Amino acid sequence: MVAAQCDTSRKPYVTWLLGAAMVEVYGWIVLAAQSDPFSVMEIYDAYALYPNRLDWMGRAMTSLSALFIHTTWSHLGINLIVFLITAPSLERCVGSLVFTVIYAGCDMVGNIAEITLDPIIDVPVVGASTAIAGITGAVVVLLARPKTPRTLTENRAFVVAVATCLWIVIPIPEWAEFARTQTDIAQIGHRSGMIAGMVAATLLRYRFG
């Protein structure tokens, strides 16, 4: 089991770099908007994922660049909180390279599912939510039944991951009604990314016993 092999002394450098990049890109967009509001649209046109633009290769590339674009400080803040609590434990368990593959892979699976199954013409898909949903799904699977006691950090990551996955899956009436009125919440993308993370973590558990 991968969870039994977690190296708590390993530094989650990829997690830190990704979190810093999200903050820097959001700061760049805010500054660009203050100097020239129209420049924000140019940034979106270049780096956001649009369902009705580009070929599949172009969609794959903008799916990755869209990871770092967030629309509001609350959008960024919620994603960062969940990410910085859950991602370090996963990176310590699977290593930086595998973590990066899971993160990028869940993002692409979630975003492609969203623009294929629930496309909204000319509305871009942005944010790291689909990738983070995959991270939380992977954490739930890997830390669910550890052979060794979980550390306080791992317990915190597990609880937040479970809560996030429940929030994604369970149709709480108030949330479901709100979500139905919002065109900017990628519900299919979130669920698809989470499932992709769970599948990846299940394969890892099977691989390492």
Mean pLDDT on 167-187: 61
Instruction: Give residue 3's pLDDT band: very low, low, confident or very high (50, 70, 90).
Output: very low
Question: Shortest CA distance to 14 belongs to which of 147, 104, 78?
Answer: 104
How many domains does the chain contain in total? 1
Q: Which two tokens stand for residue 17?
A: 């770099």
Give the pLDDT score at 72: 87
Q: Which DSSP state fits 125?
A: B
Give the pLDDT score at 131: 96
Give the pLDDT score at 172: 60
The answer to whether residue 144 is domain-embedded is yes
Looking at the predicted structure, is the pLDDT value of residue 104 above 90? yes
Report the alpha-carbon angle 18-20-22, nearest 5. 70
- Separation of alpha carbons 54 and 34, rounded Å: 29
197: Cα within 13 Å, side-chain hemisphere? 36
In single-letter form, the type of residue at position 39 comes to S
**pTM (2 decimals)?**
0.87
Summarize pLDDT for 30-87 with one digit per residue, the tens.
Answer: 998 888 888 888 888 888 888 776 667 777 788 889 899 998 898 899 999 999 999 9
Instruction: Give residue 183's pLDDT band: very low, low, confident or very high (50, 70, 90).
Output: very low
Mean pLDDT on 94-121: 87
Percentage of the chain with pLDDT > 70?
Answer: 83
Q: Which CATH number characterizes residue 127's domain?
A: 1.20.1540.10
The answer to whether residue 119 is domain-embedded is yes
The answer to whether residue 5 is domain-embedded is no
The answer to whether residue 2 is domain-embedded is no
**Domain range holding 146?**
11-208
- Separation of alpha carbons 81 and 26, rounded Å: 15
φ/ψ (deg, to 5) at 2: -65, -35
Instruction: Give residue 24's pLDDT band: very low, low, confident or very high (50, 70, 90).
Output: very high
Other residues' Cβ atoms within 10 Å of the Cβ of residue 61: 13
Give the pLDDT score at 206: 73
Give the pLDDT score at 209: 53
Residues found in the chain:
209
Query: Contacts from 92-99 at CB under 8 Å and sequence distance 24+?
Result: 92/6, 92/7, 92/8, 92/10, 92/12, 93/2, 93/3, 93/5, 93/6, 93/142, 93/143, 94/2, 94/138, 94/142, 94/204, 95/10, 96/12, 96/13, 96/14, 98/204, 99/12, 99/14, 99/15
Give the pLDDT score at 71: 87
The answer to whether residue 3 is domain-embedded is no
Give the pLDDT score at 162: 95
- Separation of alpha carbons 89 and 159, rounded Å: 12
Mean pLDDT on 5-21: 88
Q: What distance lies between CA 155 and its chain's CA centroid? A: 20
Looking at the predicted structure, is the pLDDT value of residue 179 above 60? no
Task: Cite the DSSP H helix spans in the chain.
Answer: 13-35, 37-47, 56-65, 73-94, 96-117, 129-143, 152-169, 173-180, 187-208
The answer to whether residue 20 is domain-embedded is yes
